[in-house]
A and B are shown apart, each in its own frame.
Chain A
Amino acid sequence: MSDNPSLGIAARGDDTALLLRRCAAGDRGAFRMLYDRWGGRLHGIALRITRQTSLAADATQDAFVQIWQQAHRFDPDRGSAEAFLVSLVRYRALDLMRRHSREVPGYEPDEREDETPDALSRLVTTAEGAALHRCLGTLDAERRRLVVLAFVEGLSHSELAQRLRVPLGTVKSWIRRSLLSLRECLAS
């Protein structure tokens, strides 16, 4: 039942929206298919943020429970199915991680990998991703790194300041300016 992992998410977006609609109607089979298709992706996202296998498993579990219970809230006119799923697991992972200390990381990914052109080029497999990729390219490298680190690793303003050895106020203003630039660029 494994899908081709190299494919971008939008290529399967219609099907994910369809699965969500069927979950909303109480279809357990559709729920299982959604898990087969998205379990690994959501767990990967949770693991990068929590850095602990058991916390990540909790976040992934909570996200799927919420997906089942809130599938009827998904409105394709107001957002994509993938944004719905990705957001659920990220908020859960961020919440769990900030309630626990992250002092004992059990999982150490190679984080330099995120900034390589190859990693960012994975974005271009979807129209939305391609637009974001283009707009991230308009930021200078340091600020792009900040946005990517924040999103992928779930770092807060002060954690980013520590990691990059930059004053907190500077981090905040860089993030805000980057987000403003992205908003402008994505609207054009």
Chain B
Amino acid sequence: MSGAPDRDLLAAEHVLGTLEGDEAREAARLLRDDPAFAAAVRVWEARLAPLADIVAPVAPPPELWDRIVAATGSATVVPLSLRRRLRIWQASTGIALAIAASLAAFVVLRPVPAPRVAVLAPLSGGVPVLLATAEPNGTLSVRPNGTIAVPGDRDLELWALAAGETRPRSLGVLPATGRQLVAALPPGTQLLVSLEPRGGSPTGQPTGPVLYGGRLTATD
């Protein structure tokens, strides 16, 4: 056990970023060679990461996304682990063909997961104002049914209220022209839209009136 507590502190200091010289090199070496040290680093990263919430966001330079796209290439990158699995797969072509044939039958027989939709209308009743579609892959599209007028000093904010929950979770500001986002929404989730100050609710919960709502239901 000797050295273990020191190792954990070294992991903590590595995450904090205060190490220099020999200690920094030692931490880098352990991170590479010692899985237990790497695991301790992960634990400290999780412990200290909330401190990053203190830092105010700053918009990156506008050209940065293009640089990232150029640096990652536009082609789809297949992760290494998947490539390895593909190689094993390719190595046994005969078996692969048989499995592929049975998989094809499976794919045909299995019902394709259907998207769920919600029609968002004023809670007091009235014509639908927004249509939301939740795809099985987690994409949520919210589209207006006509023009929505939002006062200049206000924003609409979209909320998800899971079945049985009492506090909605923000899905962010909703432009009047609609929006696409990714969200894990369990069946029976209600979508709500509230009127908030510019930039969204300052409290993390709706502060203005809830204008529209609707429940996500399966389409089949």
A interface residues (Cβ-Cβ under 8 A, vs B)? 1-9, 11, 14-15, 18-19, 22, 24, 26, 28, 30-33, 35, 39-41, 43-45, 47-49, 53, 57, 60-61, 64-65, 68-69, 71-72, 78-80, 82-84, 86-87, 90, 94, 109, 114, 119-120, 122-123, 125-126, 128-129, 132-133, 147-148, 150-152, 154-158, 160, 175-176, 179-180, 182-183, 186
The distance in angstroms between the C-alpha atoms of A32 and B48, with both chains bound, is: 26
B182 at the interface (CB under 8 A from A): yes
CB-CB under 8 A from B68, the residues of chain A are: 35, 61, 64-65, 68
The distance in angstroms between the C-alpha atoms of A65 and B65, with both chains bound, is: 10
CB-CB under 8 A from A3, the residues of chain B are: 170, 172-173, 200
CB-CB under 8 A from A64, the residues of chain B are: 68, 72
- Which of these binds chain A: B52-60, B91-99, B119-127? B52-60
Q: Is the CB of B47 within 8 A of A4?
A: no
- Interface size for B (C-beta < 8 A) is 63
Q: Is the CB of B13 within 8 A of A175?
A: yes
Q: List 16 A-B contacts (CB under 8 A).
A: A3-B173, A6-B201, A9-B52, A15-B181, A24-B79, A28-B76, A35-B65, A40-B58, A43-B60, A48-B55, A82-B52, A90-B52, A122-B53, A128-B49, A151-B48, A151-B51
Among the listed A40, A72, A119, A160, which residue makes an inter-chain contact with B80, where contact means beta carbons less than 8 Å apart?
Answer: A72
B78 at the interface (CB under 8 A from A): yes
CB-CB under 8 A from B72, the residues of chain A are: 31, 64-65, 68-69
Best-buried of A49, A53, A64, A120 by chain B (most CB within 10 Å): A64
The distance in angstroms between the C-alpha atoms of A63 and B171, with both chains bound, is: 25
Q: Is the interface of A mostly helix, strand, loop or mixed?
A: helix
Q: Is the CB of A7 within 8 A of B58?
A: no
CB-CB under 8 A from B12, the residues of chain A are: 179, 183
Q: Closest CB of chain A to B142's CB: distance in Å?
A: 12
Known contacts A40-B57, A68-B77, A182-B47: A4-B200 contact under CB 8 Å: yes
Q: Is the CB of A179 within 8 A of B13?
A: yes
Q: Is the CB of A4 within 8 A of B20?
A: no
The distance in angstroms between the C-alpha atoms of A90 and B57, with both chains bound, is: 14
Known contacts A4-B157, A79-B46: A61-B64 contact under CB 8 Å: yes
B184 at the interface (CB under 8 A from A): yes
Q: Is the CB of B50 within 8 A of A30?
A: no
Q: A1-B179, A152-B52, A183-B8 are in contact. List 8 more A-B contacts (CB 8 A).
A: A4-B204, A6-B204, A79-B43, A80-B46, A82-B49, A86-B52, A123-B50, A157-B19
Q: Closest CB of chain A to B136's CB: distance in Å?
A: 12
